Structure 1
Amino acid sequence: MEESEKERKAKRPRRETTSPAALINDDVLHCILSRLSAFPFASAACVSKTWNRVCNRILSRPKLASAISLNPSPLAALREVVDKVLSQPIRPHFAIANIGPGMKLKQTLKFIVDRLGSNTPIVVSSVSGVIGRDAVTDEFKEIKWRGDLSDDDDEGVYAHSGIVLTVGYVPGIKVDAIPLCKPKKAPRPEMIDKFVMDIRNYTASVSGCTSPIGIIMFGVGDFDQKPVIEKLDHAMPMKTIIVGDERCPFLYKSGNNSRNIIGSLRCSIDAVALVFANDRDKAHGIGDIRFHVALSDGVLAIGQSYKAASVRVNDSEGSTWLTARRERQKDVLDGQQLLDDVNAELENHVQIFEELDQSELYIGVTKRRNYSVGSEKARLKTSLVFHEVIRGDEEYLYVDDVGIRSGDTFQFYLADSRAAKTSCNNVSMAFGNLKLDWETKNCSCRDVDNAINKEEPFGGFIFSCCGRGKPFFDHRNVDSSPFLENFPDMPLAGTFCSGEIARGHSSSIRLGSQEKSSVHCCLHVYSTVYLVMSYTPALEEY
């Protein structure tokens, strides 16, 4: 019987079918996938094991993406910066958005959460200005707002809306937002201790130790952050870098929903810490991320030291009234006599507040205090804390904030643009030395196969005093110059803030590690704080 056509086809050997995607080799696939924006890239990683492997290779190193927008429409500004930071492959591990007076915290946070996902820790803060590259033109800008107007008036920029958005991908690091939640009736010291323990416990849960590599802090303006920062300085080893904005309205979204506490009449969120901790379960072949911090001072010490004599606290105003003695003298000086000493040092007997209209006067108080967390044994620590001078009269010198005791020593400090410019130059030189050090190590550190173990920067942050900027220096981009001169292609984001947090030595902060000193200063005035994030690849990457 003759075979049917169907039977003949069944006996033919089958040909293996191969999809067009499978015919693409890894190099071509790498080139194609690396050109995708974040969302298509995330989808591509789910196509197959091969595609996922190539996607992981594309994002094998950390990445920071940042952009600013001054679009007068808040929604358009949000779209511009989000589209820009997600225009290339990236997996958001954290996000920081800093906004101007024309934008709302809640709407901004909701928009970013919708785009980045609810598992991404996000902090949104309202600031006095933004620093970064324009999302549309890629032009570098430092923008400050004075009320409703921008300080950049000669360019015709009147920005009611403005935002700088930064998204970070940090493989090998776990990041989350830890809030300082204070029930209205809870004792304040206990809640600060709990905040410190929450940071320790989170770090221990992801890294196996209680010390994060870095913390970026944000504190509300009506809450004195000095006790919080001082307690963190006491509790954390010196290798933990702490930077941030002392006083700013903010909202946050933690990756852990149990930490997303909404403020109410019974509870307030007084600070939030974006905590960066090493991941003990990081994938094989992932290198190491390091934080490096530097500080540009903007104040000059004036005259001799004094010792507080009588001290009164005005809790309703959050201020301190004091008299003082010159070192090794018995005569008690009132506020007017103290200010006369300052004017004499400046060789000018005109009242300082009338003559120096762009300057601010502070006292730097050296405090020796015992600190402990919970039931731990207390340790003595010496710190330098700045208090702004409000006024002086024939009774007292009036300064802001509390915490000064009789017997504390202090010295006057005056904001000075020349000192700040010199300090910026010193930071730029320090960054240059850091680059040289990396290059030297990169030439000498080789494994048996001659693969270079190269450390290099991948992103940076700037926290600059709102009193600085173009009006202070009479030049543009002075605060950003250390980054622009040394790392011109490195993504960076910055803000002009009201209180700069930088943990380190009272006069300078060494890059990479804190200079050893018996005096710590963590809250600075008229300064600019620089944070550089660097990456050293694992040898397996080569």
Structure 2
Amino acid sequence: AYPNSGKVGGLASGAQMKGENALYLDDKIHRSGLVGIALSGNIGMDTIVAQGCRPIGEPVKISKCNNTLLTGMDGQPPLDLLQTIHEELDEKDQSLLQTSLFLGIEMDPLKDNPQQGDFLIRNIMAADKESGGIQVGAMLREGQLVQFHLRDKDMSAEDLRLVLNRYKTKEHSEKASGALLFSCLGRGQYLYEKLNHDSDMFRDQLGDIPLGGFFCNGEIGPVGKTTFLHGYTSSFGIFHPIH
């Protein structure tokens, strides 16, 4: 629905069993489905998706893959490339690579120089030492640009600061009159060991724009021109008048 419009949101969470979640629409409670609102008129919505990762190594092209199985990156097995990257990292990042490694997938093939935040971050599900391949939580195709990424609380904070600062350079950012934040349950106090981290940084970077929202069990927001379901992400919708 609404293929040319920006979309943000989140998955309901908190239930112990299927069917226990509650979605509210007017005076009714729904146990499944989707509740949303479409806006029209003199109102625009900018989107910011902070995936909380920092790239390591260099972007490379997929040279061989089969659905979600990645077996060639610029002509070499992914695990071989990863070993080369590992040797160039400091001790802290080498440790993170063992537990918090992800693959970023470039979603806009027209971009000549993709930056941090331009990649769709997906989990690495498994690795095969014999073939050197890795299983990724996304459908892949040969020729796509990909790059390994790491995540921790410092990187997540820096990534959020980066995308908010990037938004401030937009011409109409000063006209922002309200915003919504959909943030992962895995962020917040669980990740940062402090309350209100993302909302406080939003205010510090963009000023006293009214901000509402909630924690989610999966966040909805665009990367490039396509909307995706994310994890460990903060997804913002920032509203402003068009005219």
TM class by shorter-chain length? Answer: 0.5 to 0.7
What whole-Å deviation, never above 9, does each CA across 1:267-323 have from its counterpart, x for those lacking one? xx5xx36241426xxxxxxxx33323333341111112333344344xxxxxx2221
1:389 alignment partner in structure 2? 124
What is the aligned counterpart of 1:478 among 188, 197, 220?
197
User: Residue deviations 1:420-455, cap 9 Å, x none?
Assistant: 3233334555677789964xxxxxxxxxxxxxxxx6
Alignment pair present for 1:362 and 2:102: yes
Matched, 1:241 2:3: no
**What's the secondary structure of 1:387's corresponding residue?**
strand
Correspondence list, 1:492-511, <5 A = 492-498=212-218, 500-505=219-224
Aligned alpha-carbon RMSD (Å):
4.3
- Relative to structure 1, the CA distance from residue 493 to residue 253 in structure 2 (aligned partners, 3 Å threshold; closer, same or farther) is closer
Q: For 2:44 and 2:181, how far apart are their aligned partners in 1?
A: 16
Please tell me whether the aligned partners of residues 387 and 399 of structure 1 are also in contact (alpha carbons under 8 angstroms): no
Q: How far apart are residue 243 of structure 1 and its match?
A: 1.1
Q: Secondary structure at the match of 1:298?
A: coil
Distance in 2 (alpha carbons) for counterparts of 1:294 and 1:247 = 20
- Determine if contact 2:53/2:159 at 8 Å carries over to the other structure: no
Kindly provide the amino acid, as one letter, of the partner of residue 391 in structure 1.
Answer: A
Superposed, 1:271-282 pairs within 5 Å as: 272=34, 274-278=36-40
Distance 2:179 2:79 in 1: 44
Bigger RCO of structures 1 and 2 (CA < 8 A, at least 6 apart): 2
Q: Aligned letter for 2:6?
A: I
Deviation of the 1:396 alpha carbon: 4.2
Q: Which amino acid aligns with 1:311?
A: C
Q: Does 1:340 align with 2:92?
A: no
Among candidates 48, 54, 73, match of residue 300 of structure 1: 54
Q: 1:478 to 1:406 in 2, by over 3 A?
A: same
Mapped partners of 1:397, 1:309: distance in 2: 12
For 2:164 and 2:25, the matched residues in 1 are separated by: 35
The reply to whether residue 399 of structure 1 matches residue 135 of structure 2 is yes
**TM-score normalised to structure 1 length:** 0.34
Secondary structure (helix, strand or coil) at the match of 2:141 reads coil
Aligned partner letter, 2:80: Q
Name the aligned partner's letter for residue 142 of structure 2.
S
The alignment-based identity, stated in percent, is 18
Q: Secondary structure at the match of 1:503?
A: strand
Instruction: Name the amino acid aligned to 1:533.
Output: F
Gaps in structure 2 of 5+ consecutive residues = 110-117
Q: TM-score, normalised by structure 2?
A: 0.67
Whether contact under 8 Å (1:340, 1:349) holds in the other structure is no
Q: Which has the higher helix share?
A: 1
